Structure 1
Amino acid sequence: MRRPAHPYAPVTGASLPGTARLTGAAVRGVARPALVRWLACLLATALVLCGCGISPTDVQDYGRPPVISYSPTWVTVYLLRDGRLEPVKVPVVSDSAKNIIDTLFRAGKQPPKPGLTSALNDFSHYDTKTTRYSDNTDNTDQRNEPDDNLGYRLNVIITGEGRVTKEALAQITCTIRQNKQESIWSVEVTRLFPGTPETMGDRGCFEFRNLAAPGVRLPP
């Protein structure tokens, strides 16, 4: 009995009905032209597939990506140059009294111009309170920010070791008066702690006029 062929045995030309095994002469005489035509068709097919209706394009420049921008509010703060008050413009989130004082303390630690210093670097801004301006302190209306055209006293509360110098008082007072002339009539600085709280009384910027740098006009 003849053994069955292996299921994975290769199929030869002689095993197919109606076919004949190709000899070397047949390959040379017949298969080579067919092979050339087959390769040509394969190349043409590849070119068609590579084209497939999509043509290469250059990189398109659509400009810079969109960004959210805003125009900051600018205020004037007073720093020191050789112990004299010099105004500088700095940006703030808003022109509230608290933000202005925060910006003054921050600008002293990172001056926007060379040669500027601050007498407030040993202190920290703790809080600000506004009260309706009145000589009768028993009839004051305390609030965090003025909301009308009446005059107010601004109490700036700071903390830190050491004595609050005249230059430090001038920086705070003149900065507030420069930006809040219509609503803040006077400035009071209080050092809260450490130690016993100390209040320096009502101040106006004009009393520090002898500290102004040459050519600088201080607010009232």
Structure 2
Amino acid sequence: MDVSALIGTRLRMQRLKDARLFSGWVDTAVGGMVHVSLSSEEDIEEGDHFFCEGHTFTHRLSFKAFVERSLGNGKGARYMMRLVAPPVSTTANEHPRYRVPPMSVTLTAGEDVCQGTLEDVSIAGLGVMSPIRFDKGMLVNVDIPEPVGPMRLTAQVRYFRNMGENEDAQLGLQIFGMERESAQKWVQFVHWVAVGNRPRASA
């Protein structure tokens, strides 16, 4: 399986010199080159070597690569990485995560209600930027509007990561439950994104 199968998915990266972990998105991948973007600036240097791992619906791809060039990317960072050997493919039992253009969703937990921004999806969960804090373990209702929805799902907060002062926080949600109709829409939506479609961003 070629690394191009990872385009649009989350990539885990472990730097070999210090075992530090990073996480980014595969923007493009062809042959022995992979372009990876991170949401924030990191102390990654040209020449750094990494062990990388990504997932498709059926397989896990792992490979070693080094940073050939650092590219500008606005608020975050983007890197051109060159594989040092062909990727190794094994059967996976983890759901891949796919990036989507920012989409407005409504988050509700008790009396707390806010507008969040959907950033990535998988069959089992989603990533949302939230202006208010939701503690780990809380159950949150997520309302997703048209054209993807309307649908409502209940999810449990797996992590809440502050991105900086006066910045929204990153919320990792694991789907806890939803009505049958919403479940069907959600699965269709994730598969639709997985094959390269992208919904229009909403304000």
Q: TM-score range by the shorter chain?
A: under 0.3
Q: TM-score, normalised by structure 2?
A: 0.24
* TM-score, with structure 1 as normaliser: 0.23
More strand by share: 2
Higher helix share: 1
